[in-house]
Structure 1
Amino acid sequence: MCIMWESKGNKTIFRLNGEEALLIVTPEGMTDTFEEKEEGVFLWHRTTEEPVVSMCMEAESLFMPEHTMVPAVSYDGNPWGKDHEYKGLEKDGAAYSYAFHRCAVPGATCSWNEELGAALFGTGSCSGSMQKSAEGHMHHRVLWPEEEGPQVLYSDCWGPAFRGTMEPSSSFTAWICIGEGKGAAKKMLHTAWKQEYAAKKPVRKTEEVWKLSSDYARLLYTEEEDGLRAFSIGFTWNGKEWVKRPDFKYEIGWCGQNASLALSLLYDYQMNGREESLRYGTAVLDSWVEKARSKEGLLLTRYDPEDSLIDACNLGTAGQQFFEAYDQAKRMGLDKKNWLDAAFEICDFAMSRQRLDGGIGMSWNRDGSPHELKGTAGAFLILPLAEAFLRTGEDRYSIAAVRAYSYYYREFANNGYGTSGALDTCCIDKESVIPLLKGGLLMYRATGFDKYLEMAEEAAWYLSTWQWHQTVKYPADTVLGKMGYDTFGGTAVSTSHHHLDPFALCYVPDLLELSERTGREEWKQRALAIWRNGVQGISDGTMQLMQAGPRPAGSCDEGILHTRWGNYKTDGENGSWGSIFSVTQWLVAWPCAFRLEVLRKCGNWNLLDGLF
């Protein structure tokens, strides 16, 4: 790769392999300098003759882009899905602008085709924007002071534009990344990470996290009158006290994570000898196998309501957990073949519904008939299929896993994004591509083919576009300011749900494995940053936020409202979400489950504790 640049008059043109890639026009009264930090990465410094109170640093791509990205906000303008979100890059001819705290990388915008790619991102309290010209070129902009417009996305409506202020300044800095195709976006992610990453110790030690999380798991345990034994999906504030949610109560994976919590309590019994953990863990797994079935005898993924669907995300997760639970029971001297049978039953369910093209589907009615066939989240069923092949060596599982991985990875590679992993949305998201990372590593272990490792790494790069590369400093009078919450390492949910959550905890062990297998230290750093971010905000039993009472020990919020999102109209009234820099007040089960899962899969707790 050969990158050259030259300046003539007030114009600077960057070329990649002889092709014009990027044009920068320096306005009158300003001076631009460029310093190449590494191949294709330039630090762009602009000075003005007189201090100014606003700035736009703009770079025009000199190629026709096939893809665009604003990390964690917009992927090709968000063409997939029907949710309330930013659609396209402009509104009535005015380009959207996105605040630094809304984006995974401050002020970042990217565009590329097969041969050429360019990315721009900023520093400080900036905003990013991009707009296509009449010639079809993309104009990338970093803006100061912070602004958002011409309208701002909230969960319940479009809010008015925001424009901040700044002290006069005569010096501004941005980063330019140029590469072959989407290599420019990877350079942007790598550069932003390299600038901000620092090894730190988490706010809670691993032993404390295990105790608090296992305590919360036992608190979630519930016995229903019909004989079901399960973990509640979480606690919610009813205005007087924290109570277990009265509807949509039990789920085997996704938000409820019943199988994972039960398995972790088996480990807790082995580690600490708590008889209660053994009793709860075995009762819940047995209950899902024996009682949580449809009239047709199919394993359910949500116990209630009665018309709830069977979905691939929950089912794939359950399959893996049942396999591991059987192994753990065997180590403990328990005969739980029914758990192993349940895992293989899930594999058989997937194979019987796999199409000729390799796709399996997203969701099914309780009688097993298809409900939704589209969506990358169908890839979650790759995981038990690959695990079944690793255990049995039977070709039927290998063939099904290979066909499924090929189908879902091809869809991801063609689109450049994943869809429908977050089951409460219909949009582009983070969660749907998680099984392509996990599945790629499983398939590499099963086959030894390097291509699966490469595909797993591509999935990891995509997941990194959802990970925060910055620490946002929140005002001291906001909820997040009072919590001392650090955004660095956290991940956003989807293009329609603009809040951070610790869901990435579920692939911390996979990033650590990817780092070990590829030799790339950055994957290990990203894993540790996810862990540090994900152990914030855990209640010790005395934690109180807003008007609610002390939170149960081991609980934490599902969502961090890191930007202008949440409810604009009600702003926290009547139990609704606050609008900005606040929390959801929803103490869901899955963060607790994923923390325990990381700890039981990562043998080196000193690494997680930051004892380098």
Structure 2
Amino acid sequence: MIFFSKTETASTQTADALLCLMPPIFESNGGEIPFSSADGKYTAEGFAAEDKVEALGDGLFRVHRSVTNTGVGARTGKWIVEARDTFATDRYLIPCVSFSGNVRSMGKEPHGLCDGGKPWIFAYDRESIPSCTLTETADVVCALFASDADADSLVSSCALVRGADGCLAHRIYYPVTEAPRSYTDHDVLSARYDTYITLDVDETFSVAFFIFVGTPKWENYGTATLLDRIEDIFPFTREPVMGVRAAWENSLKQSNILMAEVGGVKMFRNAMRNDPNSRGIYMPYEVYEAGWSGQALKQARMELIEAFRTGDKALRDDMIGSLEAWAASQFANGLFPTNYARHLNKKYIACDVCNYGWAVSEMAESYVLLKSHGIERPALLNFAVRLGDFFVAHYDEKTGFGLKWNPDGTKAADGGSIGGFMIMGLLSLYRVTGNAVYLDCAERAMVLYTARDVDDFCITAGAIDCACIDKETAYPFIKSALDLYDITGKAEYLVTAEKAAYYFQSWMYYYDALYPDDSEFTKLGYYTHGGTSVSTQHPAIDPWGVIVIPEYMRLAKATGDMRWTARARALWCNAMLCITPKGGITLHGHDRPEGLQSEAFFIARWTRYRKNREERGHLNDMFVGWPAAFRMTTLYRMQTELGGDFSVIEK
């Protein structure tokens, strides 16, 4: 056994020891064969093993473990690394998978440490840090995770096991195991999945893995300390596959593909898919969504920017008409149907605060954009003011802005962190109008959501097709906290922005998962490093991180920590992948036009759109508005707000 403290290792337990690396475990035929230790080496019947520990500094250690079959015949099974905490805690993380057991999630993804009394075991490709398990208290953080040095080290799984003494044991399994059941579709658990290693006589199995012991950056933010430490062992070295001009042009192409005339005005379609009756794409049900996934309002604003850049008056007038049509859909109480189709068919339903928050922000920003070009469109600002006023009037000091609201102005549901998007909207209104009512409400809401959600390292419900812990709901807290810091100068807002950014960053993949040569990822050149997992309920990667790049640049400037620019580059490079190239491609039997990008990339044994969950490494066939809208927003903001310096994302 080897004991780890924040500064050193020891062969016997010391007062400051926080983690104990146990002898190897060989699992075969459902049983575990432990090893005995002596003089730094381990033995079991028919096996010999050795650990070599390399101290990398600041609490990070690389362990090289080798196991040799010294018996008389081949042995087949699984190898297990186990490291036990010397302290008890209920605060733990398996990145992207389990936030202290997902007790705040309403989905049916795995909850708790066990299923039917057996520990949950998750494949490495579900975690942003491979096979990572992390435990922490207010004073201590410990983590065990795999290395990407070679396939043997990387292809693995992880688990946390509660001991009789209440302490948690971190485990890495080699090779991949998912048990006692595998999470394979939206709220679907399937049979376990097992793979095995066979060692012939005198054959050695060698792996590298990491142990980290440190102090949380803030309470509940041991992950932040870990992220700051690991970036030199998981360096991002890739170049963007296209330049910034090509990224803008391809984004316009996607928006133009989604644009259609609806009720006499131009709108942006959402959730388009492959047409079962042709080789093209179609919209299976009418959705023209203001914010969230569709980002119709943001796309209209980006197209306006292009119209002013090129002098295209027809495009300008079409986009003004689109925005004014949205404004005309508003109810007397200030709310509106966030799917424009429901304005036309009058089939109103409760709508979410995510869409409402985006709408306030985008309408206010569009008003300012038009005014800067000498065009007054007061209906846009009036829409934003009336919608913002509704939420100021209905803000609740205990529940914030709520989750969903009925068309008649009654609350349909509470819950989640989704109110962060309304904070973002109110701050846009404050910047445009100077009305301190919006600033005051935004500050009070930021205090509430920070204490309840951001400080808890658990943000929920902004991915509104889920009901769980997610990544994208962190974005408005990063942006709004930085805006509040700029407006008020209060240092606590910078801390909130950092916390929310570290939470968001914990969803970004730090390595390239491995896929077969015949997978779509391999054929199309997709890699996982820099992609962001969606949520605990939807374990797929998307390019959503592209929207947060300006905030990472702002954080780098405000804190002096240039790691944020490196993170921004990784997010950008991943977000450029698998945009349909010039001339288009045929994929899944359908023709994809130039500029189109899938909404999600399926990294693990989980798929929402295919029957065969074994097809790791494939693209989905869902085409929505936000990827293009977010890319253009980031490019526009880098040009107008960040000095036009694109060096962080250029080739």
Q: TM-score range by the shorter chain?
A: over 0.9
- Pick closer, same or farther for the CA change 1:475–1:45 going to 2, 3 Å: same
Per mean C-alpha deviation after superposition, the further-off stretch among 242-251 and 506-515 is 242-251
Instruction: For residue 62 of structure 1, give the secondary structure of its aligned residue in structure 2.
Output: strand
Which structure 1 segments of 5+ residues have no match? 572-576
Q: How does 1:384-533 map to 2 (within 5 A)?
A: 384-413=425-454, 415-533=456-574
TM-score (norm 1): 0.92
2:63 is the alignment partner of 1:44: yes
1:208 aligned partner: 246
Is the Cα contact below 8 Å between 1:419 and 1:427 reproduced in 2?
yes
Q: 1:150 aligns with which of 177, 180, 204?
A: 180
Is the Cα contact below 8 Å between 1:152 and 1:161 reproduced in 2?
yes
What amino acid maps onto 2:330 in structure 1?
R
What amino acid maps onto 1:47 in structure 2?
S
Instruction: For residue 529 of structure 2, give the secondary structure of its aligned residue in structure 1.
Output: coil
2:210 aligned partner: 175
Q: Hey, what's the Cα distance between the residues in 2 that align with 1:524 and 1:266?
A: 29
2:424 is the alignment partner of 1:379: no
Q: Hey, what's the Cα distance between the residues in 1 that align with 2:649 and 2:18?
A: 44
Task: Give, in angstroms, the shift of residue 593 of structure 1.
Answer: 0.9
Task: Give, in angstroms, the shift of residue 512 of structure 1.
Answer: 1.3
1:76 aligned partner: 100
Q: Hey, what's the Cα distance between the residues in 2 that align with 1:485 and 1:4?
A: 39
Q: 1:33 aligns with which of 52, 58, 70?
A: 52
Is the Cα contact below 8 Å between 2:286 and 2:341 reproduced in 1?
yes
Q: Hey, what's the Cα distance between the residues in 2 that align with 1:112 and 1:196?
A: 22
What amino acid maps onto 1:43 in structure 2?
R
Task: Give, in angstroms, the shift of residue 223 of structure 1.
Answer: 1.9
2:360 aligned partner: 319
Task: Give, in angstroms, the shift of residue 549 of structure 1.
Answer: 2.0
Alpha carbon RMSD of aligned pairs, Å?
Answer: 2.4
Q: Hey, what's the Cα distance between the residues in 2 that align with 1:333 and 1:569?
A: 50
What amino acid maps onto 1:580 in structure 2?
R
Is the Cα contact below 8 Å between 1:177 and 1:187 reproduced in 2?
no
Task: Give, in angstroms, the shift of residue 93 of structure 1.
Answer: 2.4
TM-score (norm 2): 0.87
Q: Hey, what's the Cα distance between the residues in 1 that align with 2:105 and 2:205?
A: 43
- Pick closer, same or farther for the CA change 1:272–1:201 going to 2, 3 Å: farther
Is the Cα contact below 8 Å between 2:334 and 2:386 reproduced in 1?
no
Q: 1:299 aligns with which of 336, 352, 363?
A: 336
Task: Give, in angstroms, the shift of residue 599 of structure 1.
Answer: 1.1
2:163 is the alignment partner of 1:136: no
Task: Give, in angstroms, the shift of residue 569 of structure 1.
Answer: 7.9
1:341-383 per-residue CA deviation (whole Å, 9 max, x = no partner) reads 2222222111011013471111101111101121111111111
Instruction: For residue 140 of structure 1, give the secondary structure of its aligned residue in structure 2.
Output: strand
Q: Hey, what's the Cα distance between the residues in 1 that align with 2:609 and 2:407?
A: 37
Is the Cα contact below 8 Å between 1:44 and 1:173 reproduced in 2?
yes
- Pick closer, same or farther for the CA change 1:302–1:66 going to 2, 3 Å: same
Q: Hey, what's the Cα distance between the residues in 1 that align with 2:395 and 2:622?
A: 36
Is the Cα contact below 8 Å between 1:386 and 1:446 reproduced in 2?
no
Is the Cα contact below 8 Å between 1:567 and 1:578 reproduced in 2?
no
2:116 is the alignment partner of 1:111: no
Is the Cα contact below 8 Å between 2:292 and 2:626 reproduced in 1?
yes
1:574 aligned partner: none
Instruction: For residue 419 of structure 1, give the secondary structure of its aligned residue in structure 2.
Output: coil
Is the Cα contact below 8 Å between 2:291 and 2:298 reproduced in 1?
yes
2:538 is the alignment partner of 1:538: no
Q: Hey, what's the Cα distance between the residues in 2 that align with 1:387 and 1:293?
A: 19
1:267-315 per-residue CA deviation (whole Å, 9 max, x = no partner) reads 111222233431332121111111x234756333222442332321111
Per mean C-alpha deviation after superposition, the further-off stretch among 477-486 and 160-169 is 160-169
What amino acid maps onto 1:174 in structure 2?
F
2:638 aligned partner: 602
- Pick closer, same or farther for the CA change 1:568–1:318 going to 2, 3 Å: closer
- Pick closer, same or farther for the CA change 1:586–1:183 going to 2, 3 Å: closer
Task: Give, in angstroms, the shift of residue 190 of structure 1.
Answer: 2.9
Is the Cα contact below 8 Å between 2:259 and 2:267 reproduced in 1?
yes
Is the Cα contact below 8 Å between 1:265 and 1:280 reproduced in 2?
no
Instruction: For residue 3 of structure 1, give the secondary structure of its aligned residue in structure 2.
Output: coil
What amino acid maps onto 1:125 in structure 2?
V
1:179-225 per-residue CA deviation (whole Å, 9 max, x = no partner) reads 22445422332333322223432112211121121122223222223
Q: 1:161 aligns with which of 192, 204, 213?
A: 192
2:619 is the alignment partner of 1:583: yes
Which structure 2 segments of 5+ residues have no match? 24-34, 36-41, 44-48, 148-153
Q: Hey, what's the Cα distance between the residues in 2 that align with 1:426 and 1:183?
A: 23
- Pick closer, same or farther for the CA change 1:246–1:297 going to 2, 3 Å: farther
Q: Hey, what's the Cα distance between the residues in 2 that align with 1:248 and 1:409?
A: 36
Q: Hey, what's the Cα distance between the residues in 2 that align with 1:484 and 1:352?
A: 50
2:27 aligned partner: none
Task: Give, in angstroms, the shift of residue 488 of structure 1.
Answer: 0.6
2:396 aligned partner: 355
Q: Hey, what's the Cα distance between the residues in 1 that align with 2:459 and 2:236?
A: 30
Q: Hey, what's the Cα distance between the residues in 1 that align with 2:131 and 2:548?
A: 27
- Pick closer, same or farther for the CA change 1:234–1:255 going to 2, 3 Å: same
1:65 aligned partner: 89
Task: Give, in angstroms, the shift of residue 40 of structure 1.
Answer: 1.6
Q: Hey, what's the Cα distance between the residues in 1 that align with 2:172 and 2:335?
A: 53
Q: Hey, what's the Cα distance between the residues in 1 that align with 2:626 and 2:645?
A: 21
- Pick closer, same or farther for the CA change 1:545–1:118 going to 2, 3 Å: farther
1:219 aligned partner: 257
1:125 aligned partner: 155
1:279 aligned partner: 317
Q: Hey, what's the Cα distance between the residues in 1 that align with 2:82 and 2:575?
A: 36
Is the Cα contact below 8 Å between 1:357 and 1:403 reproduced in 2?
no
1:365-404 per-residue CA deviation (whole Å, 9 max, x = no partner) reads 1111101121111111111222333444433222101110
Q: Hey, what's the Cα distance between the residues in 1 that align with 2:253 and 2:567?
A: 28
1:449-495 per-residue CA deviation (whole Å, 9 max, x = no partner) reads 11101111011111111110111232111122211111110001111
Q: Hey, what's the Cα distance between the residues in 1 that align with 2:559 and 2:145?
A: 27
2:112 is the alignment partner of 1:88: yes
Is the Cα contact below 8 Å between 2:142 and 2:211 reproduced in 1?
yes
1:482-511 per-residue CA deviation (whole Å, 9 max, x = no partner) reads 111111100011111011111122211111
Q: Hey, what's the Cα distance between the residues in 2 that align with 1:466 and 1:368?
A: 35
1:235 aligned partner: 272
1:17-36 per-residue CA deviation (whole Å, 9 max, x = no partner) reads x5442122234233333332
What amino acid maps onto 2:602 in structure 1?
L
Q: Hey, what's the Cα distance between the residues in 2 that align with 1:50 and 1:578?
A: 31
Instruction: For residue 233 of structure 2, give the secondary structure of its aligned residue in structure 1.
Output: helix
2:311 is the alignment partner of 1:289: no
Per mean C-alpha deviation after superposition, the further-off stretch among 158-167 and 435-444 is 158-167
Q: Hey, what's the Cα distance between the residues in 2 that align with 1:87 and 1:425?
A: 15
Is the Cα contact below 8 Å between 2:241 and 2:576 reproduced in 1?
yes
2:31 aligned partner: none
